Amino acid sequence: MQLEVRGINTYYGLSHILFDVSLEVDQGEVVVLLGRNGAGKTTTMRSIMGLSAPKQGTVTFKGQDITGLPPYKTARLGIGFVPEDRRIFPDLSVKANLDVGRRGTSGRWTYERIYKYFPRLEELNNRRGGFLSGGEQQMLTIARTLMGNPELVLLDEPSEGLAPIIVKVLGDFIDVMKQEGLTVLLSEQNVKFALKHSDRAYIVDNGHIKYHGTIEELAKDEDIKKKYLAV
């Protein structure tokens, strides 16, 4: 198992946000964390990455306990994080943003490969990040993360607020990452998008894991979808 989260409890100040959350992601899988806004999806991502260290429980990556490691150390071990708010560098060009994410001089993700899958970024190579559209910024954030050549990518709400045509581009690229052997943990509110591009699903509600199953099982379970996902 590449990623194992066991019984984590995470707080923001005195507020208890995650309650004994456990999940696992195997090498090469795309696993989605579904739930309504505020359910705890982003906090789960931040807990894994070390941005909001859990007070109890463990996070293990490739057999190594990484619980509470600083994010830069987690990234060096091979985990890439694409945050919900994108956080590109607005005053830097697309190329310079990619340079910031680059780690080492070798690896499968190069400028050429990034531009192959995101040709729009090549067209905008010299444009500053602050002048990109929301969809272009999302592409850039994912591309910058991949320049670090991670083995596991955490994608937090990648489709939120984007036009359908951009959502399709991102979905196709999630499929590409899987074909490349990357492992992806995705958090989403867009159930249709998530079901199309994932292998397994967890549902989080009020900081608790309420459901786990394959995409096929979830697709057939109308009661669960209605209760937790308002579908």
Cα distance between residue 88 and residue 98, in whole Å = 10
Q: Give the SS3 label for residue 87.
A: coil
Both tokens assigned to 37 = 């806004």
Cβ atoms of 194 and 170 within 8 Å: the answer is no
Question: How many CA atoms within 13 Å lie on the side-chain side of 2?
Answer: 20
Helix axes 94-101, 134-146, angle to 10 degrees: 30
Q: What are phi and psi of 197, to 5 degrees?
A: -120, 10
Q: What are phi and psi of 185, to 5 degrees?
A: -110, 120
pLDDT over 70 for what percent of the chain? Answer: 98
- The model's pTM: 0.92
d(CA 127, CA 56): 44
Amino acid at 206: N
Please give the pLDDT value at position 108: 81
Exposure of 6 in the CB half-sphere (CA atoms within 13 A): 12
The domain 1-78+152-158+183-231 having CATH identifier 1.10.10.10: the answer here is no
At 188 the pLDDT is 93
The domain spans of the chain are 1-78+152-158+183-231
What is d(CA 118, CA 129) in angstroms, rounded to the nearest whole number? 15
Query: Which of 8, 32, 36 is closest to 231 using CA atoms?
Result: 36
The pLDDT tens digits of the residues spanning 12-53 come to 999 999 999 999 999 999 999 999 989 999 999 999 999 999
As a whole number of Å, the CA-based R_g of the chain is 17
Write down the pLDDT at residue 104.
64
Average pLDDT of the residues in 170-190? 92
CA angle 6, 8, 11 (to 5 degrees): 170
Which tokens go with 56? Answer: 């109890």
pLDDT per position as a tens digit, 103-159? 766 678 888 999 999 999 999 999 999 999 988 999 999 999 999 999 999 999 988
74 contact partners, CB below 8 Å, separation of at least 6: 48, 49, 50, 61, 66
Chain centroid, CA 51 distance in Å: 14
